[in-house]
Structure 1
Amino acid sequence: MSNALALAAVTAVLQSYLNAVYNNPSSVLGSVSVTAIAPDLIQGGIAGGGNAPLQVNIFLHQVTLNAAWRNIEMPTLAPDGQTRIANQPLALDLHYLLTAYAPEDSQAEALLGLGVFFLHQNPMIARADIASALAALPPSYPAPFATALGLSGLADQVEMIKITPATLGREEIAWLWTALKADYRPTFPFQVSVVLIQPQNPVFAALPVLQRIIEAKPLSPIPTLTEADPPNKQPVACLGDTVTVQGAFLNGTSAVRLVNPQQGLQSDITAITNATNVSFKFGIPNPVLPSPQLHPTDLPAGVYVVSAKVASDGDTVDTNGVALAIAPKIDASWAPGTIPSGLNVSVSVPCAPYLRPGQAVQLLIGSQAAPADTFDTPTNSPSFTFANLTATATPVPVRLRVDGIDSPIIDMTAKPPKFTGPSVQVT
């Protein structure tokens, strides 16, 4: 998710885009100044008539809540009105004016036409383009501000940034330009959606459910997957685990495909074992060691969609997808025993697989959570700073949460299930 600087980051990206369009070496208009300021600040600069420069300005004139996202998350606070249980994202739509300024005949129309056509051809801004634009901002953005915009998280938010035309009636345009205290110029209104701003406040994190009772297993006459079961009745799998896939008409399964939509990763696994008509098994690869860098076959923690390729009547059929969570795992060597309580307590935890920049990482000690300190390169030893770590009467379980997936801390083979894994006492 993005932070509060995402609004400024969107404007900076649009300005970078338009600057590349207007100042293309093949442009017939010559040098064009692309700004992002209020129209009344430009008013005095165009009083010189023919000496005024060509200028295009983008102006954010309104910010509204996004209707589709405003109720997407659970309530922020528990019924007591004090306990924070979620950081609900603030979803915003940004409303812009693209305005052209020129001293000569038809130049303003040419400037506006180029800008409108460019926005029409690029209705969605790619994540890589956002990152590139924020990494090379013009000198008008001072160094501290430019650096902060690059860390806004705009390129990593769940929703893509989309540009759509807007419509303003004559009365709306008249009221708007009257309020701006500037003379009207050729203008194109458009909307940018959606910017997701999410706070990183610590939240109360409940322990996971020990046992689920009800389950449904529908069957289908075509090759179908119904579930992917990690070993030892665990709700999540770890690197190196063997996963059992249940379904129907699975004879002839030749490969499994794992897709992580959030990371944009895809991995095909051809080592299929114990294949029957209703199930088969495959192993999740261990990370390639000992290289400290990410390997193309390494699978990060997160939620994956598992599908299978099944030979049927001479053709290869792709089945439906079922969810499989690959969890992070705290290294067994980490056993501090106790951790001191207090303000701004720093804790480092070795883990696998490597954490990637942009992943949402938290450490949970009992029900106390802290986000990971910022890291710009893949790491397997993240650090966490607890703003106010309070003491515990007994040792409590420790979990590493990556993109919403917790490291396993329950022995599901015990009857009844019990908590296991790393634990510490806060003294």
Structure 2
Amino acid sequence: MPLGLLDLSIVTDRLISLLNASVQSSQLWSEETTPPDGTPTGINPGQRFDINVTGLPPDEIRSLTGCQLNLYLFHVVQDSFQRNSPVTGPWTTPPVTDPTKTTTRVPPIPYQPLSLDLYYLLTAYAKGSYIQEQQAMSIALKCFHENPIVRSTVPIDNRVEEFCLTMEVESVLEAGRLWQAITSSLRLSLIYKVSVIFIEPKLPPPLAKQVQTVNLAVSPASLPFAAAGQVIGTYIKVNYIGPNDTPSQPDHRSYDLLPAVVAPGQSFLLYGAGLNQNSSNRLYLLLPDGTEQDVTAWATPTNPPSPAPPVQTDSRFTLVLPTTGAPVAGVYQLRVGNNLPSGDPNAIRSNATPFSVAAWVDPTGGPLLSPVGGTYTINGIGFSPGTMEVLLETIALTPGQFTFSSSNTISFQLPGDLPNGRYGVRVRVNQVESPPAKWVVKTS
């Protein structure tokens, strides 16, 4: 976050606003014949006078009428205590001499804020009325005495900065030199110091983003049976749209699964070693009955257009489960081998690794389902009557509460005793759950 401000007038305006607030809340003697101490004021009973607070130079207020209270920034110096302080900089590694302590990396000068002390000349002027001048000055003295720490909001980004306000003691000689410098005759005045004001520095380069995902690749050469091809496991990154999605604030989510649970149309990875040689360039699906099916066609083209990476390397197959002809939902295994059938004496097959096939729920229309006559409908691929479950979060619907209008459509109604709230629709076929896609909201 930036430190300091770019405009010194923000400080001046804040001090003037404090003075104006004090003037408005003060009980002036303008409506009384005499003040409490009995000294005549020279002001007629009922007569009011206004105190005009400005930031003008003292010589300019002589031409103005009425009582003038003026706070003028006349001198700026660099703060001697903060000029060499490393007030910014990210934390770095602990020093070798004392690992329990940390040090800061001091950034270059352009990224260090300029620290300043501001000196203000506070004067009061009312032509023909020393009483009004002294009343105005009394209000200002009380105001600044009661506000030694002043906070100001930077308008651009609503940051709150604070600074100290102190009265500076000056000799008569120094004050006389000051008044001579502004070519005005000596008037009732005080000097106030405002510190420390930081001039906002150049923004440092942004820090690196936080790590969200770490992938560790281990050399496949260390696998004991990699010479003829060996598989390790399957992986998929599931992307879906959450229920809070809007055009202005998308709600895109994802999660990783190892072993992979794949729905038709989704891509996934098969990891291993030695997968791009003649003994392992074919991909086989092991069915529950022990037979195998050649599914090498699931691999996308070996040489896709640049810049896409190759889909078959020594350590990885990139696969896509087809939307047509995909196996029914369930748990399967994958292995690699040569192009000879499994009964051939020269056939080569690797070990097998599991993955699951799930039904696909169509996300078209957005994540929130809208009922038609109290009935909700979802479409998809791979729904199978008799082996399917539909749940609303953890609440399972009974077979009578959901039906199939076709092999690719499910219709259901909300249970009458379901509490109000938002529920994710979960679909399971053969105990394999589909990726999240739909939610329902019950409001009454």
* TM score, norm. by length of structure 1: 0.38
Higher relative contact order (CA 8 A, sep 6+): 1
- Larger C-alpha radius of gyration, 1 or 2? 2
* TM score, norm. by length of structure 2: 0.36
